[in-house]
Structure 1
């Protein structure tokens, strides 16, 4: 153990020396400036993937969710690199500076997992811990299920692993939420949510990120369910009425620099490619009958903010993770954080993640 501690300390020192531009900064300005990162591109699987890379050591791949980017992990990159890990953070297919194919089936789970495998090949790596956040957990969990030879550990943030159900997801939503519209079901209609979100990307991102955090005022949080006939971003002139609230002031964890980067990226890409992930849920179900009852056996971790609304409608799934993920090391819940915990409470999130990584 003394030798391991010595090696870890030296790896951390070397990683810190290798990151002069980031300076392992706690300053919001340094961390929030996208120019302070090492940007790379790789081509595989018919796409060009943008990713950020830092550090040397065992590979950790961080997969963002919606409506997020590689940038959403900015508070994790330098600390993980300093701790002795090679950190690789891509814009996933359809996001940011990565290619966005037009065909909806281009975003099914086989393509998304294939992208992570392709990225590892481009990096010359054969082993990784994969960390998924929000819908990124869909990719991370399937990486673990489909390629256990490559992925030695898996971390799921905010959204738990759910085994393949007996009927398609859209059928489940309609059966369970008869008098409501589940937001993922709302996303199924091509063009509708896309246009609403693209109408004012600044307001969409400012309000959307705020509404997913623990800073949101009571009643202003992201609405998981809608009344029939309502929209996901209702009445922009009144800022989004009940569905998403425009904060008078940005929360402390979201700087104007950060917001501007989010807005610029989604203004360029639009929201359709990202929403196409949701439009493949039934297709994913059809393609993965062989995964019925599948369990994630690798050492794993689940992390969420205490105030995350996903904990409410996903409680049953979270309660059964010890069964569906026999290698589960811990379920960690971060106080005063919600769906945006890696951004809201980065120090606590990083402590939990590194504790898991260092014991693999």
Structure 2
């Protein structure tokens, strides 16, 4: 009885039928929403600490020391923006966007999902999973991959680099890493068990620093060993294994901003050291750290989608 009015009427009818005084019959149990629910129970996720797991990258302590404001993305804590004295969010994001468009910006992209797809049938497997062709992609090249469900709706996306004939470095969205790996394993085990392919989640094995902006090459080039970063030798959508700042790296020439861009993948234990080395090298060029809000603005201006924001599970 939600409003309790019929409760009283029913009580009197029951008392009359039982020939008992109404107080002896008693009341029915109140049900929600009569029993109040506090606003704290509804908004608790946004107040104080809670038991939900929080994943942090190796670069996270640096961002915290720089006064970054964070936001939750899937289970990760990511730098949202880096305000300077007297700046609100809008001013900070405008400054960060301007730095990337005119100079160079640094972004912690370590939270992107990463899956190693290896084996003699790796290209065949990816061609069955993604909408894109992979068999003719040459080692040392990347391609944007779009993953659909059997209903034709977008499930995930990411850049995939071919490291060798039988090995691919697959990236996924931050929130989609586990979902994509589960989807791959399901199809590999139930639909195509004859394929010789091995899948390994490597999300936490790699720290990723994105250098974006017209001056990105000037910052990175002096630190790279064994690789020519010129447009002719290392064009857009190229990938190579090399050494960066003394660390073994997988270097992608990709951009989620529309500007000249590189993504440096190093073993996670070297992530902060790489970041600080690039930060120091970028000082003469006015390097600026930027967060996820600036990333959203820059990619929207370029026209790139974000799965889960520009898609909702019903977009083909």
- Quick check: which one's strand share is greater? 2
Q: TM-score range by the shorter chain?
A: under 0.3
- State TM-score, norm by structure 1: 0.22
Question: Higher helix proportion, which one?
Answer: 1
**What TM-score do the two structures reach when normalised by structure 2?**
0.24
Q: Which has the higher contact order (CA 8 A, sep 6+)?
A: 2
Could you say which structure has the larger radius of gyration?
2
